[in-house]
Structure 1
C-alpha cells in the first residue's frame, strides 16, 4: 500500500475516541499545571518552591510510570490497564482534594501521577499498534487539546480563584470521572502485531529508539522553556500580563490550524519534510520572541509558536510509532515528552540567568538544530529498513 493509501485508511471510531480519552485524562494535570501551582500556594499557603515541588513530584511519577509500563504494555489488555490506572488516579485525586499538608498532597499527587502516566502511555501505544495511520490520530489529539484547553482554562481559572486548591483539583477529578466510562472503548485484546505500522515493519536498533526519545526530550525542553517565559518576554515588548494572556488565548484558538494541518497532511509528504519545516519555523519564532522588543512582532511570534507546537507533536509521536508494531517506543515517547515538559522551565530559567533572553534564543536554536539532525537520522534509517507505509519518512 502506498503512503497515500495509508493516509486515507480509516480507523474505528471507538479506537480513536478511547485513545483520545486516555490521552486527555493522562495529560490533564500537565495542561492545568499553572492553576495547580496557584491553587497550592493559595490553598496551603505554600511558597513558589514548595508548590513547584508538588507539581514536580506528580510530573516525575507520571513520566516514570509511562517509562516503566511502556515495555510491558503489549503483554496486557490495554482496556484492563486503563481501567486500573483511572481507578488509581481517581482515588488519589479525590483524596488529595482534602489534603491539608505539603507532605500528604505531594504523596497523593504522586500516586495520581502513576495512574495518569499509565493512561498516557496506553493512549500512544494503542494508536501506534492498532491504528492504520498513527500520525493522523495523533493530530486528532492536538485538535482536542486545542479545543478543550479554551474551556478548561476559563473554568479552571474561575474555580482556582474561588476555591483555591480544592477548586482546581475538583475540576481535574470531575473531568477524569466524567470521561472514565469511555475508556471501555479501548480494545480489550492484547496487541497481535497488526495494523499499518506492523505491515512491512522490521526490528530496529534500540539506539534508534533512544535517538528518537532524545529528539522528543530536547524539542519539548526548548519549547517549554520559551513558553514558560512568554509573559516576561511580553513585558520586554511593552505588554502587560493581561495582554499576554489574551495573546495566549488567541494562540490556542489559532493553534487549531496547526493541529488541523498535521491531521490533514499526516504522512502524505512523509515525515522528513514536515519535521524540517517546523524546526525552521520554530527557530524563526524563537529568535523573534527572544530578540525583538516590538509588541506586534511578539504577538505574531507567540501565536505562531502555539500553532507550530500543535503541528509538530503528531510527527514526533508518529516517528516513535514507526519504530515497532507493538507501540512500546510510542509509549516511551510520551514519557520523553513529559520529561522535556518538566525540565523546560528549569532549563530556561538557568539559561536566562547566565546569558539573558538573547542567549536563550541562541541556545534554543542550537538545540533545535540538534533535534532536526536526530530526527533526520531516524527517518533515513527507517526509510532504509522498512516499507514506505511503515515509516512515512520517504
Structure 2
C-alpha cells in the first residue's frame, strides 16, 4: 500500500512514529527515577544511561538525515523501531550496568534512525508546521497514557517493567510503520537534493534548539527526584506528571492557530526565557504548589517552541536536510542533559540545576534572535 504524508494512514503512521521516537521527552522523569529507585543507581549513573540512549540517537540522526531522501523510508522506520524494541526488551532482562549501557546506545541508534526519516517525511509535507503540530498533539495524548499507566506497571511488576513498556511501544510503532509509513514525500524532488552549505540562520537555530533540549533534559530528568527530595507526597508528584500530560495537549493546537499570526522568531526568543523561569521556580521553591505548576507546564514550552523551530527550518532549508536532522539538534542537548544534571546535583544539589538552566537559556536566546536575512521570509501573512 502506497501512502503519503498527506493521507490519513500516512499521518496516523507519522503520529505513532513521532510518539515512539520522542519517548524520552515524555518518559525521562520516570526513566531516571526508576533507574535510581529501582536499580539503586546514583543520579550520575542514572543520568549517564539516559545520556547514552540520546548519544546513540544523535549519532544516528547525523548519519541518516543527509541520506533520508535516498533511504527506503518505510523499511528504515519499521526496522529502526523493531531493533529498538529488541534492545529495550533486553534491558529489562539484565542488571549489569555495562550491558544496560550498550543496550541503551543500541536503542538510541535504532529509534533515532526511524525518527529521522519520520521528521524528513513531515518536513516534506505541504505544511510542515501544521503536520508537526498534529504529531505534537499526538505526543501529548501519548504522554497522558504513559504517565497514567506505566508507573503503575512499574509499581506492580518492578523496575524492568519500564523497559518492557518501551519495548511494547517500539514494537507497535514498527508494525504501524510497516503497514502505513509514507512512501512518497510531497516536496519537490529537486529541493531534496539541493547542494551547498546550509544557511547560517539554520545553524544558529539548530544550536538554539540544542540549548533548549539541554535545559529540558537536565531539569525534566529530575522532576520526580526533586519532589521526592523536598519531601512531597509521592502520589502528589505522580499526579503532577499526569497533569503535565494534559497540559502537553495545548501547545500543538496553539502552534497551529498561531502559525500565520505570530512571527516564529518571537516564539523562539521567548521560549528559552519562559523555560528558564519555570526551571528556577521548580528548583528553588520549597513549597509544593509552585513546584507543581512549573513542572506541569515545563515540557509544554519545549513542544510549542520546537514546533515553530521545525517550521522555521523547513522554510529556511527547502532541501529537507535540516528538518531531517531535528532529532540530532534536539537530542544533542538532551544527550548532555541527564548526565550534566546528575553531576550538578551530585556536586551542588538540586537548586543549582535552575541556575545552570538560566545560563544556558541566554545562549539559546542569542541564537534565536532574528537576522536581517530571514525577517521578510518569516513575517506572518
Fold match by TM threshold 0.5: yes
Task: Give the direction of change, closer, same or farther, for the CA distance of 1:302–1:86 in structure 2 (3 Å limit).
Answer: closer
Query: Which piece of structure 1 moves more, 293-302 or 113-122?
Result: 293-302
- Per the TM alignment, residue 61 of structure 1 is displaced from its structure 2 partner at its CA by 1.1
Q: How many residues align?
A: 375
- Per the TM alignment, residue 143 of structure 1 is displaced from its structure 2 partner at its CA by 1.4
Query: Which piece of structure 1 moves more, 206-215 or 31-40?
Result: 31-40
- Give 1:171's aligned residue: 165
Distance in 2 (CA, whole Å) between partners of 1:251 and 1:42 is 22
Q: Does residue 308 of the first structure (1) align with residue 301 of the second (2)?
A: yes
- Per the TM alignment, residue 215 of structure 1 is displaced from its structure 2 partner at its CA by 0.5
- Per the TM alignment, residue 383 of structure 1 is displaced from its structure 2 partner at its CA by 3.6
Checking the alignment, whether the CA contact within 8 Å between 1:272 and 1:393 is kept in structure 2 is: no
Checking the alignment, whether the CA contact within 8 Å between 1:352 and 1:359 is kept in structure 2 is: yes
- Give 2:107's aligned residue: 112
Give secondary structure in 1 for the equivalent of 2:319.
coil
- Give 1:208's aligned residue: 201
Distance in 1 (CA, whole Å) between partners of 2:269 and 2:364 is 10
TM-score, normalization by structure 2? 0.82
Q: Does residue 59 of the first structure (1) align with residue 51 of the second (2)?
A: no
Deviations 1:352-379 (A, max 9, x none): 67777666444433432331221224x6
Task: Give the direction of change, closer, same or farther, for the CA distance of 1:288–1:109 in structure 2 (3 Å limit).
Answer: closer
- Give 1:326's aligned residue: 319
Query: Which piece of structure 1 moves more, 358-367 or 177-186?
Result: 358-367
Give secondary structure in 2 for the equivalent of 1:32.
helix
Checking the alignment, whether the CA contact within 8 Å between 1:20 and 1:141 is kept in structure 2 is: yes
- Per the TM alignment, residue 70 of structure 1 is displaced from its structure 2 partner at its CA by 0.9
Give secondary structure in 2 for the equivalent of 1:269.
coil
Distance in 2 (CA, whole Å) between partners of 1:357 and 1:323 is 39
Residues 168-207 of structure 1: matches in 2 within 5 Å? 168-183=162-177, 184-189=179-184, 193-194=187-188, 205-207=198-200
TM-score, normalization by structure 1? 0.80
Q: Does residue 344 of the first structure (1) align with residue 344 of the second (2)?
A: no
Give secondary structure in 2 for the equivalent of 1:74.
coil
- Per the TM alignment, residue 65 of structure 1 is displaced from its structure 2 partner at its CA by 0.7
Instruction: Give the gaps of 5 or more residues in structure 2.
Output: none
- Give 1:250's aligned residue: 243
Give secondary structure in 2 for the equivalent of 1:256.
coil
- Give 1:85's aligned residue: 80
Q: Does residue 143 of the first structure (1) align with residue 137 of the second (2)?
A: yes
- Per the TM alignment, residue 47 of structure 1 is displaced from its structure 2 partner at its CA by 6.0
Query: Which piece of structure 1 moves more, 202-211 or 23-32?
Result: 202-211
Checking the alignment, whether the CA contact within 8 Å between 1:35 and 1:160 is kept in structure 2 is: no
Task: Give the direction of change, closer, same or farther, for the CA distance of 1:102–1:50 in structure 2 (3 Å limit).
Answer: same
Residues 30-109 of structure 1: matches in 2 within 5 Å? 31-37=26-32, 50-99=45-94, 101-109=96-104
Give secondary structure in 2 for the equivalent of 1:147.
helix
- Give 1:4's aligned residue: none
Query: Which piece of structure 1 moves more, 305-314 or 232-241?
Result: 232-241
Checking the alignment, whether the CA contact within 8 Å between 1:44 and 1:101 is kept in structure 2 is: no
1:125 to 88, 95, 120: 120
- Give 2:374's aligned residue: 382
Task: Give the direction of change, closer, same or farther, for the CA distance of 1:265–1:354 in structure 2 (3 Å limit).
Answer: same
- Per the TM alignment, residue 239 of structure 1 is displaced from its structure 2 partner at its CA by 3.7
Task: Give the direction of change, closer, same or farther, for the CA distance of 1:269–1:237 in structure 2 (3 Å limit).
Answer: same
- Per the TM alignment, residue 315 of structure 1 is displaced from its structure 2 partner at its CA by 1.4
- Give 2:361's aligned residue: 368
Give secondary structure in 2 for the equivalent of 1:381.
coil
Q: State the Cα RMSD in Å.
A: 3.5
Task: Give the direction of change, closer, same or farther, for the CA distance of 1:293–1:210 in structure 2 (3 Å limit).
Answer: same
Residues 265-284 of structure 1: matches in 2 within 5 Å? 265-284=258-277
Give secondary structure in 2 for the equivalent of 1:75.
coil
Instruction: Give the gaps of 5 or more residues in structure 1.
Output: 1-9
Residues 19-34 of structure 1: matches in 2 within 5 Å? 19-28=14-23, 31-34=26-29
Query: Which piece of structure 1 moves more, 119-128 or 11-20?
Result: 11-20
Checking the alignment, whether the CA contact within 8 Å between 1:19 and 1:122 is kept in structure 2 is: no
Distance in 2 (CA, whole Å) between partners of 1:39 and 1:357 is 18
Query: Which piece of structure 1 moves more, 40-49 or 156-165?
Result: 40-49
Task: Give the direction of change, closer, same or farther, for the CA distance of 1:267–1:126 in structure 2 (3 Å limit).
Answer: farther
Checking the alignment, whether the CA contact within 8 Å between 2:79 and 2:174 is kept in structure 1 is: no
